[in-house]
Structure 1
Amino acid sequence: MSETDTAETADGRRMRSERSRQAIIEAALYLMNEGNLIPTAQAIAEHAGVGIRSFFRHFADMDTLFNAVDEQSRNAIEARFLGGDRDGSLADRILHAVERHADGYEAETNTILSTSAQLWRSAVLKKNYARYQRGLRIDLNDWLPELNALSRGQREAVDAIASFEMWHRLRYHQGLSKAAAIAIIFDLLLVLIQQ
């Protein structure tokens, strides 16, 4: 076998390996988005069309996979929350912020629920979840610089009201429409910030 043939064989193996790795990441995302909030390595491997040994050749453990999934999806997730019209009166900006977060929460519900369900066992998910929480807090400050004038307790209340947990409670547990949930969160934030 010539050096060229050897190099082509190695390149082919590398490309197949990368395709398998990517298929595993995409399978994990697909299963979570479809409602399998705690997909097993076996379920992910089956959906990706690879063997369980191949799964663990690419990812030593689930935390390694979670890290790869986060690296691949982070920009898209953050983009759902960032941006938007940040001009106007306090009421306008609160409404725009709540609407933007609502759209992000709606799109990422299963990802957030999957992360929450597995925080107890994953250092990577804990770290990533904390990073996203800090990011949401910073982003809310960008929407609403008035938050800097609030007491610490009031500021913590703002984060609780604007949180996914509050959103999920209103939408899922209380069965409210998206518009009704937005209206409630808007009213609570407006009253709190205007005090």
Structure 2
Amino acid sequence: MIDATLELMEEGVLIPTAQLISERAGVGIRSFFRHFADMESLFIEIDQQTRESSEALFIGGDREGTTEKRILHAVERRADGYEDQKNTILCVAALSWKHSFLRENYAHYQRALRKDLDDWLPELKKLPRARREAIDALASFEMWHRLRSHQGLGKKQAIKIVVEMISEAMAAS
């Protein structure tokens, strides 16, 4: 059932239901609820099974070199992670109003991404708060999704824009 849920999400089903998951898994709806008390229980189990691989998409990478190189590498790393996890992130956004676990877990991941950006770019700690917050927004999935899906930019174009905006924000005096 976990695999069925992940398949549905990957296919773009952003609000998978117990019925859809059961059908995809080839089990009855009653079997679903024998394994999971509710949908939130399913999401908790999915997170436990996928957390390590999801985090690995964002953590790591070459953190050496000039500020410009590190900005580029950080944005490329996030771009790859965002591309891979797009439907999962959109699913969480679509369902977070209903499931406190998803809201809290998304907030956890956002804090981890912020800390990771600080690890890539320790210079951020010296910036005025408003500029630091702006850079966090520029590096976010929401900005990435806007550039890719709403503005129709290719991956390389979106990376270039995010890198330029973060570089300008860091250089502004």
- With structure 1 as the length reference, what TM-score do the two structures score? 0.87
Deviation at 1:55, TM superposition (A): 0.4
Residue 69 of structure 2 corresponds to 92
Deviation at 1:152, TM superposition (A): 1.2
Residue 152 of structure 2 corresponds to 175
Q: How does 1:1-195 map to 2 (within 5 A)?
A: 24-195=1-172
CA distance in 1, matches of 2:11, 2:46: 15
Deviation at 1:166, TM superposition (A): 0.3
CA distance in 2, matches of 1:68, 1:59: 9
- With structure 2 as the length reference, what TM-score do the two structures score? 0.98
CA distance in 1, matches of 2:61, 2:111: 19
Deviation at 1:144, TM superposition (A): 0.2
CA distance in 2, matches of 1:28, 1:134: 26
CA distance in 1, matches of 2:25, 2:127: 49
Output the aligned Cα RMSD: 0.6
CA distance in 2, matches of 1:152, 1:46: 49
Deviation at 1:52, TM superposition (A): 0.6
The residue type paired with residue 71 of structure 1 is Q
CA distance in 1, matches of 2:132, 2:168: 13
The residue type paired with residue 23 of structure 2 is E
Residue 9 of structure 1 corresponds to none
**Which secondary structure state, in structure 1, belongs to the residue aligned with residue 96 of structure 2?**
helix
Aligned length: 172
What is the aligned-residue identity percentage?
Answer: 60
Return 5+ residue gaps in structure 2 as ranges: none
The residue type paired with residue 184 of structure 1 is I
**Which secondary structure state, in structure 2, belongs to the residue aligned with residue 80 of structure 1?**
helix
The residue type paired with residue 95 of structure 1 is L
**1:9-66 CA-partner distances (Å, limit 9, x unpaired):** xxxxxxxxxxxxxxx1111111001110101000001111111111001111110001
Task: Select the structure of larger CA radius of gyration.
Answer: 1
CA distance in 1, matches of 2:15, 2:38: 14
**1:97-140 CA-partner distances (Å, limit 9, x unpaired):** 00000000000000000000111000010011011101100100
